A and B are shown apart, each in its own frame.
Chain A
Amino acid sequence: MRGGPPGSLASMAQMENERAKNRGATAGRLLTEFKPYLASLALVFTLVVLGALSQALAPWLVGRAIDENISKLEPAGLTVRMLELFVVYILGSLFTSQQIQVVGVISQKLLAGIRKKLFTHLQSLPFRYFDQKPIGDLMSRVTNDVDTLNQFFGQGLTQLFGSLFGLIGILIAMLLLNVPLAIVSFLVIPVMLLTTALFAAQARSAYRKTRETVGDVTADIQQEIGGAREAQAFNRSKANIDRFRQRNAANRDANVQAVGITSAFSPAIEFLSTVATALVIGYGGYLVLEKQLTVGVLAAFLLYVQQFFRPVQLLSSIYTQAQSALAGAERIYAILDERPEPADAPNAKTLGAVKGNIEFDHVSFGYNPDRLVLNDISFHIKAGQTVALVGTTGAGKTTVASLVPRFYDVNQGTIRIDGHDLRNITRASLRSQMTMVLQEPFLFSGTIRENIRYGKLEATDTEVEIAAKTASAHDFISALPKGYDTPLGEAGSGLSQGQRQLLAFARAILANPSIFILDEATANIDTRTEAMIQRALETLLKTRTSIVIAHRLSTIEHADNIIVLENGKILEQGTHQELLTKNGKYAELHAKQFRSPKPQPT
């Protein structure tokens, strides 16, 4: 409830944290989203006008009842007038009801459309885009920005129309009843707008401070809960509590200060509202005494005056809401305007079953064009071979592996699969020929079975089980109370890192690709399980091409070719024996890892 109800100063000040840079263009573009709903919008417009009309009509009827029926002691006429009032009230409610519904449905459909567009577009964006954008950031932008639009469409837009027309209707009715009294009553409106603007400016800076302090508190909470184990291991609890107390207190004080401003706002507006009432009674009373006004009109004026503060207040809050909605829309369009991954070449072929010849032909590549990560790399993997990539962190191993499924396009040179330039093949057909197991396995929420089946959506339960058995995952899965139907939490929580990796293996095995890419796939598995997987893989990989990245050198000694990378260049390549004999970098790395003297044969 910190934000306060819509129309409150707090909600205004909190929302207006950003403005769109290019408001006009963004607003125009946002308007075009409404095109499919033009017919419904016409209906909304009609409903709004009718609603405003009935809102303006009711006090007028009350005024007439006083002047023409009550004052003139006409009970029959009063009954008729009251029945009219009843009809006006009931029609007003029906119009409002319809209007809420139509506007609500249109805006929700529109938002669903925007969400779909965003998602589809995100899926078509190249990896480069995601390299620069932290996922958490992207997530919060997509969800928060659509949410701001939702708030604006859901509340702001209806209220904007409702209060604008309501206000206009009231102003017109007042002018029709009595021009001088109307003008005197209007005197308060500009003062109100000014007061609101002044307070909003003050509140904005106060709330900016509360946002900062809330940010500090939240960051502290997040961090210290995540690092609670460290806090205990290093005896830091007391220091942490002290720091938290400071930030917690700063947040409290900032809030109290901000509320000091907002608390003064609503009394100020209410005061102005009472001033308007007093003006109506004072000047109106004078006019009645001078016989220039009837008591009924005065009563109607009192009712009208009480109605125009809410719209004025709402309008200023909608203005700020519109600001942040536009800023949100602008960011949404920024994502939608990102260039998608270049489409497949027009004459791109569909790649059939491949043998698995991979050729890197003078390939250079950099995530930034001006900083090459791979520099003139050439090598050839024959169908069915296993190639290991070795080198220190940052040598370019993972980059090589990312180029094969064409996650990125090379800057120079060519990569070929079975003689086809990657750029002449459709991506989907290329990727369906290969699979990748990464160091950090990624599992989706859903059951274990669904996760394995991700590799081949049409696989039968038996196929899933066979794949799990091959990946040595069947035993631990069957030991779970729900077996293959065990649901996995976010990112596979509940399973150990090693077990998650086994599922990733099962998924890859089920996909049955011609090319396997293993990027540090066994780094987090203990050596005995690794040995089991290794045995399974040996059979699997015999007929398949595979690229293996591993820092545990013992796992790649049998590779047909070992490529040693350093700073994006190939330093040396050959079989394990060849490289040891050569006594170069590989031999050095090997010696480091196997510092023991001659291992004992078992």
Chain B
Amino acid sequence: MNNSAARPSATARPGAPSPGAFKAITRALTYLRTYQLAALAALLSLILVTVTSLFAPQLIRIAVDEGIAKGQSNVVLTAVLGLIGTAVARGLFTFLQGYLAERVSQGVAFDLRETLFEKLQRLGFSYYDQAQTGNLVTRLTSDVEAVRGFIGTGIVQIIAALVTLIGTFVVLLAINWSLTLVVLTTIPPVFYLLFRFVSTIGPRFGQVQMALGKLNTVLQEDLRGLKVVRVFAREAFEATRYEKANQELLEKNVVTIKGIATIFPFVIFFGNLGTLAVMWYGGFQVIGQALSLGQLLAFNSYLAFLLQPIFTLGFLAAGLARAGTSAERIFEVLDAPLDVQDKPNAKVLPALQGNVEFNNVDFRYVGAEKAVLKGISFQVKAGQVVAILGATGSGKSSLTNLIPRFYDVSQGNITLDGYDLRDLQLSSVRSQIGIVLQDSTLFSGTIRENIAYGKPEASLDDVMMAAKAAQAHEFITGLQQQYDTLVGERGIGLSGGQRQRIAIARALLVKPRMLILDDSTSAVDAQTEGLIQDALDHLMTAEKRTTFVIAQRISTVRTADLILLLEDGQMKASGTHEHLLETSELYNQILGSQLKTPTGGAS
């Protein structure tokens, strides 16, 4: 069932709405403004439905009192035709109401989703460092759905319920005020029980969802960690873990069911007591000639109109709490600050030469206490190849991420061809830089579309050229559908090495004036790595463009014009291979760890 948008979110739990949630739902209501005409029409239809509904019992009364009691068959016939007439009108208005409310709510959902999506496309790297993908997806799907359900149908229904309630009340009072007061005594217990029901069952459903989540986590881990479980022969351990979660879920379910069983039938019971009160007290009034039989029957029919809105209001209260929480989560994303954005008077970067300068750059991730880069200064001339070397966590990726301004520096500045990065238009900078990220995403689509990601209009020839340069052409043409092979979620799986070559081709296709390669050959076997290396060597040297390479291997960095050696966010040494060999102990250490056998070199 590919229907996740319709599934209620496991995290949005009903319960008492927080003040924040209430504010959020009020804010969500402002999205109705675009659709105010349709919304008003829906509301009007609903009120008309109520009015026509209130007519029906009157017609029954007329049929009984004026027709049957007085032996007037033509009155009975008129009443019957009147009943059918109101049914037709009612049907028409019900349809209009349902259809218009859906249009409004779908419109609001569309707007919310679109604004969210746009915002997410603009939010910077630092936002994604902290956000979890699954969590964000939930906000665009289930949370929007919860808000939509409430805004579309909820609001209209609340107003309609109130109108029905008041209208019925007025009609009942007009028929017989004392009987009305007797009937009204059954309403508070119904209200109370319904409130108890919603407020106790809501949180219990939340607990069931949580228990279910735990159970699924165990299942998921068991399946994903299959090899680990089996090689450690931990099947029994996993089974115990699962059974514990399973029992907990069972318990929570049983508690919820008991709650439903102890409250809900009695809500109905008190509703029925209304009929009892009407027949009993009303019966006495008929006997005492204070009420006609037809009025008694009509009165009884109106009871349903009292109970229905109360039920609606009770359930909507639960919906309101959930929609409020969801709205809060939606606005959390919409209100997230955009940390990296164009200045008002940002300049367009002219054709990039490739001079890069870091002046005393400090960089700290949002929310982190420690700076990952401290006092970094270096200068790169156009066309140079820069290799960045250092242990895991030394700040290599952070450094390269600053160049396309995925993050802003905390202190100091970076210039491109002499311009401060922050004075330039982001798109003019990024469109001139080709980047291979550490973990490249393959999008669902064909291989061709994936390579052309940064330049969708590229011709097949251009795509092939880029693939050839990235040593990907050969394996692609080996596939049955070649460049039209589907990859990603619905397509075939590619190996880590193949994915990386696609990512490199993707970066090359945009014909960048500068290249940034982040650890792009770590998951590739030796032979493939050699191929990629050849390609990159060619790219770095044949076309003169500034290139930054993060690499683990000395073989990659040897030929670089500049090697930056990082440790703990600081630059320990920089220079050429020969220079560092003579001056840097750390460099020699790294070299030593890689080339343990002095006889290793073959060519």
Contact = CB atoms under 8 A, between A and B. Distances in A.
B242 to A, nearest CB: 5
B489 to A, nearest CB: 7
Contacts of B228: 436, 438, 442, 454
Interface in A251-279: 251-252, 255-256, 259-260, 262-264, 266-268, 270-271, 274-275, 277-278
Given A233-B430, A236-B453, A576-B597, A78 B283 contact: yes
Most chain B CB neighbours (cut-off 10 Å) among A94, A288, A498, A553: A288
B224 A256 contact: no
- Nearest 5 interchain pairs by C-beta: A263-B98, A1-B149, A104-B257, A267-B91, A592-B530
Interface in B1-34: 1-6
Contacts of B590: 527-528
A14 interface: yes
A348 interface: no
B182 interface: no
Nearest to A324: B1
B223 A139 contact: yes
Interface centre among B228, B510, B603 (most CB of A within 10 A): B228
B580 to A, nearest CB: 11
A592 B453 contact: no
A302 interface: yes
A445 B132 CA distance: 16
Contacts of B441: 223, 226-227, 229-230
B199 interface: no
A187 interface: no
Nearest to B293: A295
A188 B115 CA distance: 49
Given A256-B106, A600-B581, A108 B250 contact: yes
Contacts of A62: 275, 279
B287 A70 contact: yes
Interface in B200-238: 215-217, 219-235, 237-238
Interface string B79-121: 1110110111011101101110011001101100110011011
Interface string B501-516: 0000010001000000
A73 B6 contact: no
A568 interface: no
Contacts of A601: 598
B90 A270 contact: yes
Nearest to A233: B435
Interface residues of B, number: 175
A234 B454 contact: yes
A419 B317 CA distance: 71
Contacts of B522: 523-524
Contacts of A526: 390-392, 552
A232 B127 CA distance: 13
A493 B590 CA distance: 28
A286 B250 contact: no
A374 B80 CA distance: 84
B601 A223 contact: no
A101 B113 CA distance: 41
B145 interface: yes
Nearest to A71: B293
A595 B232 contact: no
A530 to B, nearest CB: 7
Contacts of A90: 269
Contacts of A40: none
Interface stretch (A24-32, A165-173, A426-434): A426-434
A98 B266 CA distance: 12
Given A221-B141, A235-B454, A431-B233, A259 B102 contact: yes
Contact of A264 (B83, B95, B237, B301): B95
Given A123-B222, A228-B128, A557-B600, A105 B254 contact: yes
B114 A248 contact: yes
Interface residues of A, number: 168
Nearest to A402: B227
A82 interface: yes
Contacts of B137: 218, 221-222, 225
Interface string A230-254: 1111111101110011001101100
B3 A211 contact: yes
A554 B225 contact: no
Given A130-B223, A135-B224, A218-B137, A498 B392 contact: yes
A441 to B, nearest CB: 9
Contact of B589 (A142, A222, A439, A528): A528
B596 A557 contact: yes
B73 interface: yes
Contacts of A431: 230-233
Contacts of A552: 526
Interface in A55-110: 58, 62, 65-66, 69-71, 73-75, 78-79, 82, 85-86, 89-90, 92-94, 96-98, 100-101, 104-105, 108-109
A299 interface: yes
B343 interface: no
B265 A599 contact: no
A454 B527 contact: no
A265 to B, nearest CB: 9
B264 interface: yes
Contacts of A228: 120-121, 123, 128
B334 to A, nearest CB: 15
B591 interface: yes
The CB with the most chain A CB atoms within 10 A, among B117, B287, B444, is that of B117
Nearest to A143: B216
Given A139-B219, A218-B5, A221-B117, A275 B87 contact: yes
Interface string A1-24: 111000000000010010000000
A78 B280 contact: yes
A138 interface: yes
A487 interface: no
B525 A393 contact: yes
A65 B117 contact: no
A282 B106 contact: no
A428 to B, nearest CB: 5
A454 B125 CA distance: 35
B524 interface: yes
A526 B226 CA distance: 27
Given A100-B260, A235-B431, A281 B76 contact: yes
A435 to B, nearest CB: 6
Interface string B141-182: 100011001100100000000000000000000000000000
